[in-house]
Structure 1
Amino acid sequence: MSDPSLYTYPSPLEGYQNLPALPDERNDDGKSFKNPQTGVKSKAYSEFTSPIDNGVRGGFDVHIYFLQSDEGQTKFAKELWERIRREFPELRIYQPWDKPIGPHYTGMFEVNLFTPEQFGAFVPWLVINRGPLSALVHPNTGDDIRDHSQLATWMGEPLPVNLALLRRFLKSKA
């Protein structure tokens, strides 16, 4: 994966400096803290945090992998693909690839998520319904290498991603 030391990180408190201290009061469970309510929800409920794409490309890609040499996994993946198309018709869903494509070493299909609402509905659904398959969930920030590596989240067993091929592809587009 990508070396985190190659990147800079803004403070998580950017925009929240110099505010009053948070209370130490606990909720009834005795473990969690009571947070001061503002009456205003975070914008992250309705739009993806910058620099995640809120436009045509979509904020997140979900790559769902299967071993094309395993008939059982291939069958399950194609059934899952059909179910996703039926249950989530508003999402952009690509064809299953029975061979490696792009930086992906094995068969897969891709689903694009455009809103936090779609992300919040689809990702928990996939956690429960992905069966034996692994899934890579990554944002679209415009930094494809970092998106597919350091910013990626895995469901199931992480699989290798061919970042060298992705780098060559991106260099050829420049």
Structure 2
Amino acid sequence: MTDPAAPYHAHIYYDAAERPAAAALRDDFDRDPAILFVGSMTEGGVGPHPIAQYEVHFVGSAVPAVVAAIEATGLRALVHPLTDDDLADHTTLAHWIGEPVELDVTVLDPPGVNQGVPRFGKADF
């Protein structure tokens, strides 16, 4: 069972044709009080994510609603918990919606290490 207070991310992926749907979903998330943070839309790869995406931060209790909202758009997404194992978060603990995107896992932090990047909301957890 998911801890209702556990920190989660979703990475919403899009291409040029999907950008309007991704932007509309981002706007919906930005107005949702269950969503703690909505990141900027990137127009290219960043970190392990090789294509355009943005991230959404929320807690475990919001996972079903976030997954349902993403599924309704037909967009691809990676939903994962935030633990002290960045690699596992993006692989074995991750849930894909739609066709998975091949991530560059070589840039992920090793277990127990955070290279100073805020991973939840606007500050580390």
Structures share fold, TM-score greater than 0.5: yes
Q: For the Cα contact (< 8 Å) 2:85–2:109, is it kept in 1?
A: no
- Whether 1:59 aligns to 2:3 is no
Q: Percent identity?
A: 29
**Residue-by-residue CA offset, 1:21-71 (whole Å, 9 max, x unaligned):** xxxxxxxxxxxxxxxxxxxxxxx47x34xxxxx4xxx5211000012xx2x
Q: Comparing both chains, which one has the higher relative contact order based on Cα–Cα distances under 8 Å and sequence gaps of 6 or more?
A: 2
Query: What is the CA RMSD across the aligned residues, in angstroms?
Result: 2.5
Residue 93 of structure 1, CA deviation: 0.9
Q: TM-score, normalised by structure 1?
A: 0.57
How many pairs align? 114
Structure 2: how far apart are the matches of 1:167 and 1:59? Answer: 17
Larger Rg: 1
Counterparts of 1:24-173 in structure 2, within 5 Å, are 44=1, 47-48=3-4, 54=5, 59-67=7-15, 70=16, 72-86=17-31, 88-91=32-35, 92-116=37-61, 118-128=62-72, 130-131=73-74, 133-167=75-109, 173=115
| Greater strand fraction, Structure 1 or Structure 2 | 2
Moved over 4 A (4+): none
Structure 2: how far apart are the matches of 1:158 and 1:149? Answer: 11
Q: Which runs of 5+ in 2 are unaligned?
A: 117-125
Q: TM-score, normalised by structure 2?
A: 0.77
Equivalent position amino acid for 1:120 in 2: P
Q: Which residue of 1 aligns with 2:123?
A: none
